[in-house]
Structure 1
Amino acid sequence: MATAYDPFRDLDRVASALFEPRRGPRRMPMDLYRDGDHYVLTADLPGIDPGSVDIDVDGQLLTIRAERTLAAGDGVKWITREREAASFLRQLNLGQGVDTERISANYTNGVLSVTIPVSEKAKPRKIAVEQSDASTPASTAGDRVEPVEQ
């Protein structure tokens, strides 16, 4: 069986190896948006075994790790192999306005969705204005707030 040799394909592979080094974990593409009282992070992780996805929260730092492994049986002779085994890493500083105790995650069809609830303290709220009786003084001399002159 004759095979066609394409020198440009090999040149493209060499150029990719030289100019796009694949050392260390890769960043995963993600989207982040707020929907009501929670944030939603979605990240593309195609070909990832859900068991390899690891999500940690340490203080206010959210870390997502995932590993893609490619199975190769004994005696396999690759014709072409463009998909690589890889590890993925993404870290986000959550800030103070989220409830880190109630973070949840779901992995469906190669997309990881992480739901991050907004904490009760960070939600907008109304302040009730009380009305005092006209015959009762609003404050006494000891309770007065004086403006600070600069």
Structure 2
Amino acid sequence: MAMNFDPFRELDRVAGSLLDNRSPRVMPMDLYRDGDTYVLSADMPGIDPGSVDIDVDGQLLTIRAERTLTSGEGVKWIARERQSGSFLRQLNLGQGVDTERIAASYENGVLSVTIPVSEKAKPRKIEVATSAQVLETHPAA
């Protein structure tokens, strides 16, 4: 089996594993608004859904996950680029979201979190009343 060897990539991988072995890794994500809902999609391939922990503290959304790579005894690695360890992402939600109705699902290695916009933050029309309408609803005493 032929494999391409890139010494710079290998050096980067080794340096990264030596220097950054304990800090949580950042998961790539997309965030967009679809109508009255924000949708967060985070790539988490190979992560057991049972290890995913999502919590909201005030306006701070925290996503944590753990990837454990198993290897049998006596295994001789040829290449090992997939990282194990903790993954972490925190987002400040700001005002205008309904933190009570946040929902999450995990499918095909992608975590999807839906964050609804609160009723108070949704745009609304304000009717402009004429003086005749004001007199009808509030007659002078």
Please give the range of the TM-score, normalised by the shorter of the 2 chains: 0.7 to 0.9
State the 1:9 CA deviation. Answer: 5.2
The aligned length equals 136
Q: CA RMSD in A?
A: 3.0
TM-score, normalising length: structure 1: 0.76
1:37-52 map, 5 Å: 37-52=36-51
Give the Cα separation in 2 of the matches to 1:124 and 1:12: 50
- The change in CA–CA distance for 1:9 and 1:131 in structure 2 (over 3 A counts) is closer
2:20 maps to 1:22: yes
Give the Cα separation in 2 of the matches to 1:98 and 1:108: 24
**Amino acid in the other structure paired with 1:113:** S
- Where in structure 1 are there 5+ consecutive unaligned residues? 141-150
Give the Cα separation in 2 of the matches to 1:5 and 1:52: 33
The residue number in structure 2 matching 1:103 is 102
Higher mean C-alpha deviation, range 100-109 or range 72-81: 72-81
| CA shift digits 1:15-41 (9 cap, x unpaired) | 432267433111110000000010000
| 2:70 aligned counterpart, secondary structure | coil
The residue number in structure 2 matching 1:61 is 60
| CA shift digits 1:30-72 (9 cap, x unpaired) | 0000000100000000100000000010000000001100122
Give the Cα separation in 1 of the matches to 2:70 and 2:90: 28
State the 1:4 CA deviation. Answer: 8.4
1:1-150 map, 5 Å: 12-18=9-15, 21-23=19-21, 24-133=23-132, 136=135
- The change in CA–CA distance for 1:66 and 1:5 in structure 2 (over 3 A counts) is closer
- The change in CA–CA distance for 1:27 and 1:19 in structure 2 (over 3 A counts) is closer
Percentage identity across paired residues of the two chains: 69
| 2:132 aligned counterpart, secondary structure | coil
TM-score, normalising length: structure 2: 0.80
State the 1:102 CA deviation. Answer: 0.1
User: Is the CA contact (8 Å cut-off) linking 2:25 and 2:87 kept in structure 1?
Assistant: yes
- The change in CA–CA distance for 1:120 and 1:15 in structure 2 (over 3 A counts) is closer
